[in-house]
Amino acid sequence: MTVLILTCEEDVTADMVVVHLHDAGVPVVRLDPADLTVGVSLSGEFVHGRFRGHLSAGGRLVSLGGLRSVWVRRPGVPAQRAQHASAWLTEEASQALYGMLRGSHARWMNHPDAARRARHKPWQLRLAQQCGLPVPATVITTFPRAAREFAERYPDLVVKPVSGAHPQDPPRAVPTSRVAPDTDFSAVAFGPTLLQRRIAKRADVRLTVVGEELLAARKAAAPDADPQEVDVRFAAPGSPWEPVEVPPRTAETVLRYMRGAELAYGAFDFVEDADGVWWFLECNQSGQFGFVEVETGQPIARTIAEWLGRPVPEERREADEPDVRAC
Amino acid sequence: MQPFALNYARPAPELAVTTPYVYDSGLQLNVLVDGRVAASDHGLLREVGTTTSTAGSKTHFDD
């Protein structure tokens, strides 16, 4: 049984997992959906009540029924590099590839439906609340008045993109940034704006969850850090990431979040306050982990490889041979 | 007037790192010019920064 990895060629972070799969003797097929029709091919037949599908890439051929797991890492846009690429062809290729994979009964990291839902930050915040994780007071609004009133209640605020994406025309970065108390909020009317009470942090925490395994790393805030730099991704390097134990209560609630989100993988961002409380900021359903493993030595890639390489239960193999009478 | 959050935008960081490895479709891994697997060289990964949490931001939501 094969592990299918959907990612781009330059994804060296995926390589860290492929190395472990190779060492374990687990067959791997790695492809980028962007290469569909130029280097990647697919075929599926729905005949006599049965489905048989195949994928081919790099001279490898794999049956969809022979997949034990699918890892959706950093896939390109389907058929983006096809000779006659178009939005229409991308939709055709996406429906064909992901539609057939959905019928494979392979385990997903993460299932596309769960992944799409899990990217919505407002949904993340609500799920985190429901699971019992501490969430900083937050407002997402297009009403300038609502923003002003929120700022009166919580004068120490940060602003961040709702989607987590950065504008590309022209390319700019929008880090989490502090908002001055006397800020003019009239521009809130021109786009949904996420304002959040700033947590005075003594550390950032990155908690990587793989199945039921939790691997947390902590980066202490430098005492002389610029108080305006609140986004660890854009701050000066400072302290290294170091492994840290997950408080039992946090572990329990994070696993509840993972089950609620139907995710097999998630990279949580927390900030730790002066009392040691971990405040939930977000859960990146395909967050980077290589930088944590490189700095801490935590076996994240190996843990992912073990999850992906788990044997397929017999009942699941049988499910790949569906009996039409079951419907 | 632009959306409020864009008042806090800054020029995108330069991510045009020249990576010293190329993809080997036989191995399904990126390899260095001397044939070693790039992912096994953590010092190199730290140096080129391609595994960090901003590396995927341009084309992917998930950091």
Q: Is residue A307 part of a domain?
A: no
Clarify whether residues A123 and A32 are in a common domain.
no
SS (H, E, C) A5-51: EEECCCCHHHHHHHHHHHHCCCCEEEECHHHECCCEEEEEEEECCEE
Q: Is residue B33 part of a domain?
A: yes
Q: Is residue B21 part of a domain?
A: yes
Q: Is residue B54 part of a domain?
A: no
Clarify whether residues A157 and A219 are in a common domain.
no
Clarify whether residues A264 and A319 are in a common domain.
no
- In this complex, the residue of A10, A164, A191 whose CB is nearest that of residue B23 is A10
Residues 232-261 of chain A whose Cβ lies under 8 A from any Cβ of chain B: 233-234
Optimal mutation site among A15, A269, A304, interface B, most CBs of chain B within 10 A: A15
Clarify whether residues A184 and A288 are in a common domain.
no
Output the domain CATH number for residue A185. 3.30.1490.20
Full residue range of the structural domain in which residue A206 is found: 116-135+199-297
Contacts of A175 in chain B (CB under 8 A): 8, 10
Report field, pTM of the whole predicted structure over 0.90: yes
**How does residue A321 score in pLDDT terms, banded at 50, 70 and 90?**
low
Clarify whether residues A192 and A211 are in a common domain.
no
Q: Is residue A304 part of a domain?
A: no
Tell me: the pLDDT tens digits for B6-62?
999 998 876 666 889 999 999 999 999 999 999 999 998 888 877 777 644 444 446
Full residue range of the structural domain in which residue B32 is found: 4-48
For A179, the closest chain B residue by CA position comes to: B8
Range with the lowest mean pLDDT among A34-48, A170-184, A195-209?
A: A170-184
Q: How many domains does chain A have?
A: 3
Tell me whether A103 touches chain B (CB under 8 Å).
no
Tell me: the pLDDT tens digits for A13-38?
999 999 999 999 999 999 999 999 99
User: CA separation (Å) from A231 to A48, B56, B59?
Assistant: 56, 16, 20
Q: Is residue B8 part of a domain?
A: yes
What is the average pLDDT across A221-246? 84
Q: Is residue B14 part of a domain?
A: yes
Which pLDDT value is given to residue B55?
Answer: 42
Output the domain CATH number for residue A277. 3.30.470.20
- The distance of Cα B3 from the centroid of its chain, to the nearest Å, equals 29
Q: Is residue B42 part of a domain?
A: yes
Tell me: the pLDDT tens digits for A79-131?
999 999 999 999 999 999 999 999 998 999 999 999 999 999 999 999 999 99
Q: Is residue B57 part of a domain?
A: no
State chain A's mean pLDDT as an integer: 93
Does the complex come out with an ipTM higher than 0.95? no
Clarify whether residues A316 and A285 are in a common domain.
no
Q: Is residue B9 part of a domain?
A: yes
Clarify whether residues A72 and A219 are in a common domain.
no
**How does residue A315 score in pLDDT terms, banded at 50, 70 and 90?**
low
Clarify whether residues A35 and A75 are in a common domain.
yes
SS (H, E, C) chain A: CEEEEEECCCCHHHHHHHHHHHHCCCCEEEECHHHECCCEEEEEEEECCEEEEEEEECCEEEEHHHEEEEEEEECCCCCCCCCCCCHHHHHHHHHHHHHHHHCCCCEEECCHHHHHHHCCHHHHHHHHHHHCCCCCCEEEECCHHHHHHHHHHCCCEEEECCCCCCCECCEEECCCEEECCCCCCHHHHHCCEEEEECCCEEEEEEEEEECCEEEEEEEECCCCCCCCCCCCCCCCCCCCCEEECCCHHHHHHHHHHHHHHCCCEEEEEEEEECCCCEEEEEEECCCCCHHHHHHHCCCHHHHHHHHHCCCCCHHHHHHCCCCHHHC
Cβ pairs A/B, distance under 8 A: 149
For A269, the closest chain B residue by CA position comes to: B63
